[in-house]
């Protein structure tokens, strides 16, 4: 049995999920258990692949502390204790938080793979997995072994008469994993910054909050565990939300003009 558990707060692009599933089924076989864990906004953003691949959504408990990782880990261990246990379990997230879970699953004889976008894979977590499936490129997703490859074979010894050329020092490897920039503090966010990040709002038309949240995440105006609804509610004279209790749509009310910091909306 093959299991795919998706951290929708991390692997939150429909294209990435489609690539990951295609790679898993091509290399490992049919996926029996497909689940996605995350906030309402991120799960709504994955509505198309959830419907197309029959992935069961698991809504994250809304707390100030993100609980998605914990929910995924609990279900993974529950599945690991079933008889028969999964043959392969794929975690759709590049977070290093899952390394302890990966170690325990491998100790139980389960093959554990990771599906992650290149820029979101924690370098220190790579070797904990049996393999990593990188997605998010223009080319087809591919499985990359997590193990360190063996050193190349030594070249044949040159004749004694041949003059040895001095060995050149290899250039130092450049750091490839740049530390992600922190999100802008909430009290520094302005309506102009929001409109620049989500230009579709300038039309005054209703826009799904999930689309706006994704753009705010990409522009570092919204942290992983923060709520985009709270951002828009800081500017009641500029943005309107609907429905009132659990809003999923937002529109811009005032066209043009500059914006004050979040603590002092115009």
| Helices marked H in the chain | 14-27, 40-45, 47-52, 68-80, 99-107, 191-197, 209-218, 228-233
Higher model confidence: residue 133 or residue 173?
Answer: 133
Give per-residue pLDDT as tens, 193-242: 888 888 888 888 888 878 888 888 788 777 766 777 888 888 888 888 88
> Which residues lie below 8 Å from residue 90, measured CB to CB, with a gap of 6+?
2, 3, 4, 5, 20, 24, 28, 31, 112, 113, 114, 115, 133
Q: How far apart are CA 125 and CA 228, in angstroms?
A: 29
Please tell me the predicted confidence (pLDDT) of residue 136.
85
Q: How far apart are CA 192 and CA 213, in angstroms?
A: 16
Please state the rounded mean pLDDT for residues 97-106: 96
């Amino acid at each position: 049995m093959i299991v795919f558990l998706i951290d929708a707060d991390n692997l939150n692009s429909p294209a990435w999920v489609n690539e990951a599933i295609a790679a898993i089924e091509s290399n490992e076989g049919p996926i029996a258990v497909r689940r996605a864990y995350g906030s309402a906004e991120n799960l709504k953003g994955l509505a198309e692949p959830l419907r197309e691949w029959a992935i069961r959504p698991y809504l994250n408990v809304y707390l100030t502390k993100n609980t998605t990782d914990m929910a995924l880990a609990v279900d993974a261990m529950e599945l690991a204790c079933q008889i028969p246990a999964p043959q392969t379990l794929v975690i759709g997230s590049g977070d290093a938080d899952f390394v302890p879970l990966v170690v325990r699953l491998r100790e139980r004889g389960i093959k554990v793979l990771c599906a992650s976008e290149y820029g979101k894979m924690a370098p220190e977590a790579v070797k904990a997995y049996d393999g990593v499936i990188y997605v998010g490129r223009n080319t087809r997703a591919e499985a990359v072994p997590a193990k360190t490859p063996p050193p190349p074979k030594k070249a044949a010894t040159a004749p004694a008469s041949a003059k040895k050329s001095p060995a050149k020092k290899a250039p130092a490897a450049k750091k490839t994993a740049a530390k992600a920039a922190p999100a802008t503090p909430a009290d520094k966010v302005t309506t102009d910054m929001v409109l620049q990040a989500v230009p579709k709002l300038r039309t005054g038309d209703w826009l799904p909050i999930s689309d706006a949240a994704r753009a705010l995440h990409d522009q570092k105006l919204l942290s992983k565990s923060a709520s985009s609804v709270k951002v828009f509610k800081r500017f009641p004279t500029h943005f309107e939300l609907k429905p009132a209790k659990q809003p999923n749509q937002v529109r811009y009310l005032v066209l043009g003009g500059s914006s004050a910091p979040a603590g002092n909306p115009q």
